[in-house]
Structure 1
Amino acid sequence: MKKVLIAGLVSCLFAGHAAAENLDKETALGMASLMICTTFYAEHDMQIEGSIVGQSMMAHKTAGIEEMIMSKETSEALDAYMNQFKAANKEQQIKLCDEAIKFARESDFVKAE
């Protein structure tokens, strides 16, 4: 699952042209949570929440998040987040996805195009 997320999140992991910007850890984890929770909400018929995170995920992609470079530290933080989500029970996953909704509402990445 992580490979799919990374491919969708950052198409130029550890590489890219000189103009590419580094993806900060908070934004990378926020985007990963949007992607994970879009699926989580769909699987649990939570349409409103799914719509919020899905729209935010697409807005971040459109704003250029896929063209950014992820550092090794950010990749390791993404690994830890994925493991935390997989190990969590449904109630804990809901709390993690609440953070995804918070990120969707508060992220300034899209505005910072």
Structure 2
Amino acid sequence: MKKLLIAGLLSCAVAGQASAENLDQETALGMASLMICTTFYAEHDMQIEGVIVGQSMMSHKNAGIEDMIMSKETSQALDQYMKNFQAANKEQQIKICDGAIKFARESTFVKVPE
């Protein structure tokens, strides 16, 4: 599952790209939470929450998150996040996904035109 997530999150994650920016850990984990929780909400027929995280996920993708580079430390944090989510029961997963909604509302990665 991590390979799928990383492929979706960072299709251009090649360390040799000089022009690409580094993806900070908080944003990487936030984007991962958006991706995971979009699926979680769809599977549990939680449409409003799914729309919130789904729209935010697409906004982040359109803002260029896929062109950024992920460090080894961020990759390890992503591994741990995935393990925690998979080991959690449904109630715990809902609490984890509350973090995705918070990230969707508070992320500064996507710049809103003034």
TM-score of the pair, normalised by structure 1: 0.96
Root-mean-square deviation over aligned CA pairs: 1.4
4+ residue segments displaced more than 4 Å: none
Change (3 A) 1:16 1:8: farther
Structure 2 equivalent of residue 82 of structure 1: 82
| Structure 2: gaps of 5 or more residues | none
Structure 2 equivalent of residue 15 of structure 1: 15
Alpha-carbon separation, structure 2, partners of 1:5 and 1:11: 10
Give the length in aligned residue pairs.
Answer: 113
Alpha-carbon separation, structure 1, partners of 2:98 and 2:40: 11
Q: Give the Å deviation of 1:16.
A: 4.5
Q: Deviations over 1:42-97 (max 9, x none)?
A: 00000000000000000000000000000000000000000000000000000000
Letter in 2 for 1:27: T
Change (3 A) 1:14 1:76: farther
1:1-113 → structure 2 map (5 Å cutoff): 1-111=1-111
Q: Give the Å deviation of 1:17.
A: 2.1
Alpha-carbon separation, structure 1, partners of 2:112 and 2:58: 15
TM-score of the pair, normalised by structure 2: 0.95
Secondary structure, counterpart of 1:23 in structure 2: coil
Alpha-carbon separation, structure 2, partners of 1:63 and 1:15: 20
| Structure 1: gaps of 5 or more residues | none
Q: Give the Å deviation of 1:12.
A: 2.5
Alpha-carbon separation, structure 1, partners of 2:73 and 2:84: 17
Letter in 2 for 1:6: I
**Residues 9 and 31 of structure 2 are in contact (CA less than 8 Å); yes or no, is this contact kept in structure 1?**
yes
Alpha-carbon separation, structure 2, partners of 1:50 and 1:17: 33
**Residues 52 and 101 of structure 2 are in contact (CA less than 8 Å); yes or no, is this contact kept in structure 1?**
yes
Q: Percent identity?
A: 81
**Residues 16 and 69 of structure 1 are in contact (CA less than 8 Å); yes or no, is this contact kept in structure 2?**
no
